[in-house]
Structures are given as C-alpha cells and as structure tokens.
Amino acid sequence: MIACVVGMCSLGAFAQDGKYAVDPAKLAGMVREGHPRLMLLDDRLAELKADAPSDPALQSCVSQAIEQADGVLDEPKLEHVLVGPRLLSVSRNCVRRIYALGIAWRWTGDEKYARAAEDNLLTVCAFPDWNPSHFLDTAEMSHAVGVGYDWFYSYLAEESRQKIREGLIELGMKPGKAAYEKDVWWAKSEFNWNQVCNSGLTVGALAIAETDPEWMAFIVPRAVVSLPKALAAYGPDGAWMEGPGYWHYATRYTAYGLCAMDTALGTDFGLSEIEGLSVTGLFPTYTTGPTGLLLNYADSGERSSRRPMPCMFWLARKYGNAFIGDAEHAVVSEQGADPLHVVWYVTPSGEALGERELDRHFRSPVDIIVMRSAWDDPNALFVGVKGGYNQVNHGHLDLGNFEIDALGVRWARDLGSDNYNLPGYWDRKPGGDRWQYYRLNAQSHNVPLLNGADQDAGAVAKVLRFESNPGHAFVTLDLTSAYYKQATKVTRGVSLTNDRKAVLVQDEFVLSEPCEIQWGMTTDADIEPHDDGTATLTLDGKQLIARILAPEGAQFTVGSAEQEEPQRTNKGVNRLLVRTPGEGESTIAVQLAPVWEDGAVEAGEMRDLSQR
C-alpha cells in the first residue's frame, strides 16, 4: 500500500509560484487503510520491538514511557477549567496522557492503558467546547483526540468510536473549518500558532479520514498552503525568531503535522524541503550555553534550560543527521525521555559528537550569534548576541542584548517572560501597553539606553560583520534604528578576546544632541564597584572582573532589577551600570573577564568598530 501511496505524491501536490497546493479530490485515494496511520505505524513499532533487546537507550525510553503511563492511571479526570483565557493546560495534559498511554499499550498490550485512554478521550469529547477563542487549545486537543482515536481504534467499541468522532468533529473540525473560512490570522502567521493550529487540525482530520473524509479534504489543503508561511522562518540557517523555547513548541508541531501527513498520506507535499528545516536541529545545541541554559531571548521562561526535545529525533530521522540525534541522546541520558522519543526513536551512532564550530551566526528574521571558548566544558566562556527586529512575536525591546556563561554560571542574563495574563501584554505595537512591563522593555535588558528611553518598538538591527578566528571572534550590529530619536548612528560590537578568555562589549554612538548614555547588564551576581573603573562580580563562589575601557574616568554603579507585583519581582537580581554624559561621537567599552584558575585576564584593547 505505501509504495502505491508514495507513487501518487505527484498527483496530490505541486508547487506553483512558491506556494504549495493539494488537490482535495485526490486525498481520499491517498489515505493509508486501517489504523494506526498516524506517526508510529505498526511495522515501525515491530522494528523497535525487535531492536530493543540490543539497544539499552531504546529500552530506557520505553521503560520511562511506561512509567509515565502508570502515573497517568492514578491521575484525576480532566476538567474543563480555564486559566485566564486558556484551556491550554488541559489540552496539553491530554496530549501527554494519550502518548504515554499509547506507547504503554502498544508496547505491552496491557488493556489497563487502553481503558484509561478511552476514559480520557470520552471525557474531553464530552466537554462543552475546546475553547476555540484561544485556538491553540482547540488545535492541541484535536491532536490529542486524533492520535488517541487512531492508536486505540482496535480497542475501542464502535459506540466509543462514534462518540469520539462526534466530539472531534463538533469541538475540533467544525471550529477549525469556521476559522479557515474567516481567513483567520494564524493561517497567515509566520509564528508558532501557524504550526500548532494547522498541524493539530491536520492530525485530527487524518484520524477520521475513512469515515468523514470531508474534513481531511477541507483542512489538509489549507494547512499545506498555510504552513510554508511559518516554515520559511527557519531559513536559511534553522534559527527560530521566537526564541529557543518557542523553537521547541513550533518545531514539535511541525514534526507532528509533517510526520502525520507522511504516515497517513505517504507525502508531506514537499514541506520538509523548505530551506532551514534540515539544519534547524542544530539551533538548540548551539544556543545552549555551557551552563545548560538556553540563550534566553523573547518570551522564554526564566532561566530556561535545554530540556529533552523529541522532535530532535524526528529531525535526525527525516534528514539523516546523526549529530542531531546524538545531541538529543546526550540530553535524554541525563534528564530522561518522553514517550515521543519512542515514536521518533533513532539509534545512537556510537560516535563522539566530534568537531563543532565554536562560533555560529544563525541568519534569520532575528539574527542570533553565539561564540564560545570550547565545547563539552561546563566552565567554558560563552556569549550569545541577538539582532533582528523588535516587532517579532513574543519579542522584547532587546536589540543587541547579550548573555554570558563562564566558570559554570550565567553572569549576564535575560529575565525572560512575565505573566501572559497581564493587561495589554500582547499589545506590542509602538506605544503599546506591552512595553510598560520591565521584563519586556529595554530597561531590563543588556542594551544601552539614551536619556533613559526605551528602544524604538519598530526597530531593526542588522549584522554588519561576523568573524570567527582561532583566538577570537566578534560580531558588530547596527542598532541605529532602535535609537534614531537620539542618534544618527549606533553600533555595538561584542567580541571574545584575550585568547577567548574575556568578552568585550563596545558601543559607539553618533549623538544628535548631548544626552546621558547608560550601559547596563542584568546579573544574579553580587557587585562590588571600585574607584579605578572596575567592579568585581561574585556568583556561586566564582568571580568576574568588569573593566571600563572607555570613556576614561567613568565608574560602575549598582542598580536593582526588582519590581512590584503584579509584575514578576526579580528579587535579588542586580544591574551593573555605567552612566556617562555623551556628546557627538561617544564610546562605551566594557571588558568582562572571568577570573580563571590561572588568574585574572589583563585589560583588553578597544578597536574601531568601523574596522571590524
């Protein structure tokens, strides 16, 4: 059957003028017969079972999935309870339960898991709605119910099948159809809502394709046309503009949708060939600092760390990239597996991760630059820098922001997101309420301020130059549009200097009129300023020396990042500050030098950024 289905790909999909199209009339003839048809087919499951006795990593993934399913058995019934405007936590809980119970039942055959899955499916299909006003909730629940219906089909009595189908159609497919017919915004979006909503609905529609094909015929062609708008944002280098945390959300739903199309229809209609997807599995690895913390831009959670991401296995399988799979295995071995690691399992290559670039520029709508002194050394020096534009979804006023790891701690940090339910949190237009919140505006970020003003909310920062050499690396960014009201030119340079033992942050301004320049860095460290233009930062028993290289005579001061509720309070978080009058052409240059075991690093030298 599958060979025949694959042979029909050219009939079902074609690219025209850069857009993808699907002939709805041909979809019914492409559907894989029977169940399961979504993600994990029976023949693949048989392969995994045959491989398991000789693959300890696979055994571990399976045993952890079964352990999670055992925990689900004792959990209370899901309830239709909103948090703020969202049912999302309930939808995600259902997704989690269905995959755990599904792997456990399909691996062991123990009906206790199937009974629990049936109960969960009937429960959510009896809800009054899946909260379509916040459509992520509906899409994720459609995904959960679609996978559950498909995987447990052979166990379910026809009465249960009918109730689940009816619930999926009434609460998922019909609201989805209504959304598409209204030309809903997320179908035109380049952000995570696109992948989640399109893929969640696609999974649900494919699950019931043989009994109710009209939903597949309506939803799949629209999803295939819509998804490239978001998938193009991975190009050309695999970065994700909404940050590494939202990379995982967007990419795992990309994997759900494309994998479901592959297994159910024999094709993903060429979507997996879109530039950037084949290398996007590198992004979480490179944006993880030696501390295990991610480069925390946009609305990432506070102190977000690299966690298991099963879609890395899908990427590794899809694109034949053992490095991506091995990088995920390294995380799973330390932190544990998710049931999706079984669904998309790849065997470890057995080889070391090998040589990797120390520095990398991820070109994308939001440029990300990462530089480090070494790999596989928890004490290594790491700096990440962000460019791009301030109007990105989940974006902050943080063009030029940097974060630093060294000696096993994060010295310069981003505070992360605030409470999504704060009034006006999503009003990101210039002058919007979003920018009143400290964590989101420029005041909290590691960026310069001119006369205390925030960056312009519509600003764009371009990378002027990036260079990586054995002893040093640097990037220069044009930040002018973020400060156009106060300056005719603003350039930031960030370098790894002193044989990659220190960081130099150098800002050059051509000011329109005299103003105060403030250089700031947010840190958890205790700060002790000194009279000679230096400061000692102490954190977790380690030290870093900050030095003002320019302007001459400037001094460090200490500020606080603490705020009043209902904002997050940032208790104990400090700000390392330099305030200086500026006029005409002005420069602030600060060296940040960890105190290594072999001693402190000497003062560095400034360089003209126009020559960098």
pLDDT 10s digits, 160-194: 999 999 999 999 999 999 999 999 999 999 999 99
In-domain check, residue 355? no
In-domain check, residue 352? no
8 Å CB contact between 433 and 499 = no
Same domain, 333 and 438: no
Whether the per-residue pLDDT at 116 is higher than 50: the answer is: yes
Residue 7 pLDDT class (50, 70, 90 cuts): very low
Quickly list DSSP for 25-92: HHHGGGSPSSS--SSS-HHHHHHHHHHGGG-HHHHHHHHHHHHHHHHHHTSPPP----BTTB-HHHHH
In-domain check, residue 353? no
In-domain check, residue 350? no
pLDDT of residue 611: 58
What letter would DSSP give residue 564?
A: -
Q: How far apart are CA 444 and CA 434, in angstroms?
A: 14
Looking at residue 81, which CATH number applies to its domain? 1.50.10.100
pLDDT of residue 601: 86
Q: How far apart are CA 509 and CA 291, in angstroms?
A: 33
Same domain, 315 and 278: yes
Mean model confidence pLDDT for the chain: 94
**Alpha helical stretches, state H, 266-379:** 282-286, 311-319, 322-335, 339-343
Q: Which residues contact 47 (CB under 8 A, 6 or more apart)?
A: none
Q: Which residues contact 366 (CB under 8 A, 6 or more apart)?
A: 239, 241, 297, 386, 387, 388, 389, 392, 395
Q: How far apart are CA 263 and CA 259, in angstroms?
A: 6
8 Å CB contact between 265 and 32 = yes
What counts of helices (H) and strands (E) characterise the chain?
Answer: 17, 20
Same domain, 294 and 403: no
Same domain, 426 and 295: no
In-domain check, residue 497? yes
Whether the per-residue pLDDT at 605 is higher than 90: the answer is: no
Closest CA to 121 of 106, 136, 143, 105: 143
Return the structure tokens found at 226.
Answer: 């819509």
The pTM for the full model equals 0.94
Looking at residue 400, which CATH number applies to its domain? 2.70.98.70
Whether the per-residue pLDDT at 488 is higher than 50: the answer is: yes
Q: What is the mean pLDDT of residues 515-537?
A: 98
H or E element that contains 389: strand 388-389
Same domain, 132 and 195: yes
CA-to-CA separations, 407 to 208, 377, 378, 461, 524, in angstroms, rounded: 54, 9, 7, 30, 14
Amino acid at 290: P
In-domain check, residue 349? no
Amino acid at 190: E
Q: How far apart are CA 203 and CA 36, in angstroms?
A: 12
In-domain check, residue 49? yes
8 Å CB contact between 455 and 390 = yes
Number of domains in the chain: 2
Which of 343, 375, 393 represents a domain boundary (last residue)? 343
pLDDT of residue 241: 94
Closest CA to 603 of 517, 500, 504: 504
* Angle, CA 75 vertex, CA 69 and CA 76 arms, to 5°: 145
Which of 284, 316, 343 represents a domain boundary (last residue)? 343
Same domain, 301 and 408: no
Query: What burial letters (b/e) apply to 222-256, b meaning 16+ CB within 10 Å?
Result: bbbbbbbbbbbbbbebbbbbbbbbbbbbbbbbbbb
Q: How far apart are CA 447 and CA 450, in angstroms?
A: 10
Whether the per-residue pLDDT at 126 is higher than 50: the answer is: yes
Q: Is the dihedral of CA 520, 524, 530, 536 positive or negative?
A: negative
Q: How far apart are CA 470 and CA 322, in angstroms?
A: 26
Determine the structural domain holding residue 126 and report its residue range.
2-343
Q: What is the mean pLDDT of residues 44-51?
A: 98
Q: How far apart are CA 33 and CA 183, in angstroms?
A: 32
Residue 1 pLDDT class (50, 70, 90 cuts): very low
Whether the per-residue pLDDT at 577 is higher than 90: the answer is: yes
Same domain, 21 and 120: yes
What pLDDT, in 10s, does the model give residues 283-342?
Answer: 999 999 999 999 999 998 888 899 999 999 999 999 999 999 999 999 999 999 999 999
Same domain, 406 and 275: no
If phi > 0 it is left, if psi is from -120 to 50 it is alpha, else beta; for residue 162 that is alpha
Closest CA to 530 of 543, 540, 518: 543
Closest CA to 593 of 535, 529, 525, 540: 535
Same domain, 298 and 432: no
Query: Is the N-terminal amide bond of 128 cis, ω within 30° of 0?
Result: no
H or E element that contains 467: strand 460-468
In-domain check, residue 398? yes
Same domain, 199 and 314: yes
Which of 315, 343, 371 represents a domain boundary (last residue)? 343
Report the first-to-last Cα separation within the chain, whole angstroms. 59
Same domain, 165 and 192: yes
The length of the chain, given as a count of residues: 612
Count the neighbouring beta carbons within 10 Å of the beta carbon of residue 595: 17
What pLDDT, in 10s, does the model give residues 214-271?
Answer: 999 999 999 999 999 999 999 999 999 999 889 999 999 999 999 999 999 999 999 9
Closest CA to 572 of 390, 303, 258, 199: 303
Same domain, 391 and 312: no
